[in-house]
Amino acid sequence: MDTPQFQRLRSIKQTGFLEYVYPGATHNRFSHSLGVCYLAGKFIQELREHQPELSISDTDILCVQLAGLSHDLGHGPFSHTWERYIHMATLDKKVDTVWKHEIVSLNMLDYLIEDNKLLPQLKKFGIGSKEINLIKEFIKGSQPKDGSRAFLYQIVNNDDSGLDVDKWDYFLRDCHYLGLPCNFEYERLTQFAKVFMVDGKSQICFRDKVLESVYNIFRTRSNLHRLAYQHKVNLIIERMFFDAIFIVDGKCTGPTGEVLHFWEWSMDAAYSQGEALKKALERYCTLTDSVIFSCLKYASRPDVKKAADIVKAIEKRSSKSNGFYQHIGLKILPYFVSEADIEKGLCQLLPKANEWILSSFVSSGTVEINVEPVKSDDICVSVVPVHWGKGDKNPVESVHFYSKDSVFTYQSSNLSYVSAMLPESFQEMQIHVLCRRSDNYAFQVARWCFENYWDSSPMKKATNSLTNGCHL
């Protein structure tokens, strides 16, 4: 913990820009990492106490705790917002490589240990190179070679069901700081957790009596996305920061006086090798919320000043004509449509929309005839999937339960065991259309495109056919 690489997490907010909507959402990745470490320790200690036959050693417990402590070392500024920015920049550069913060976390763990000469101290507690590799596998959520030890891989990052202490902590922590209800108790889950051999490997199973509590965990995830993470103001501010970051990337200096290359340094921190990786991670450590925000807010060169204007518009968002982006509309669909396809369809309607709205405004005396027409660059789209953790599948079907007689999974056919009010669909696509201009004329033009695009016959037929009988 007491290393620069870990302390950096104090400067990475857990929920990105959500504090602009929920003022209490100022918690950081540092506190979350401590929470995951704590819950991981509690969980594995509970398993050892209830099932001594598992032969869980002190080293096993320490490895699981260290995995929980280290799992987010690779997060970039503003947490998942940075991941989305890197994804957008990668598409823009037509690069096929996928960037994930977990990859950087693994590299950062090695760098942290080497840079701070921690290996001799770790060896005193039974942590050598073999155990460090095991910790990294726990962080990745890998599938183990030894099926008898598979349950250890399901505590910090459960790739099988998605039910792990990482999610428990951020559900509880985010709900607390946002002031939202959280209807599950991790103590009850750990109390009724037990390891059984299922399909050739040891897996963490839960007593059938906590089935509804398990549902509440995944329901909490959906509620957080719907009520908070995908709040329209948060999406607007995030998009504005994306635009600003694209402007200044490679054109501003950081606290060391070195020009900051956001995308390049992030990619290098994941995929460089040897000495180049060490240098990349050293540079990556300089990228924090405050550094990026300062680069944007105080950008003064003519070619980057627009980034400062965007930040100013965010800080003065209650002023209607200051440049704060407008939310044009939300469409919810049960299937995926790419942002590029939607933007293309909307922009094809712009000439007619400009003509129609301009004629209406001029006849009413609202605007002059030489008003600036709305262009394709003024429209942007965010397609956001909202689900329970397993895409369109019911995540509870991936969780193993046990009763007095057997181990089993609940399938869709017997969901009524829990409630007759469970959803029939576990995923939706939220399509938010935004306008980069803040004037009323631009809003009306964009809104006209939005309404007519979704009413166009091909899209309407596709939507009707797929939503027929589907409950969202």
Which sequence positions are flagged as catalytic?
A: 101
d(CA 22, CA 26): 9
d(CA 274, CA 290): 29
Q: How many CB atoms lie within 10 A of CB 464?
A: 9
For residue 357, the one-letter residue type is: I
Check: CB of residue 263 under 8 Å from CB of residue 248: no
Q: Which residues pair with 332 in a beta bridge?
A: 430
d(CA 120, CA 129): 11
Phi, psi of 15 (to 5 degrees): -115, 30
Output the furthest CA–CA distance in the chain (Å, rounded): 83
> Measured in Å, how far apart are the chain's first and last C-alpha atoms?
44
Q: Is residue 367 left, alpha or beta, with left meaning phi > 0 and alpha meaning psi from -120 to 50?
A: beta
The tokens describing 232, both together, are: 């329209």
The tokens describing 76, both together, are: 């970039």
Q: How far does Cα 376 stand from its chain's mean position?
A: 28
The tokens describing 49, both together, are: 């106490």
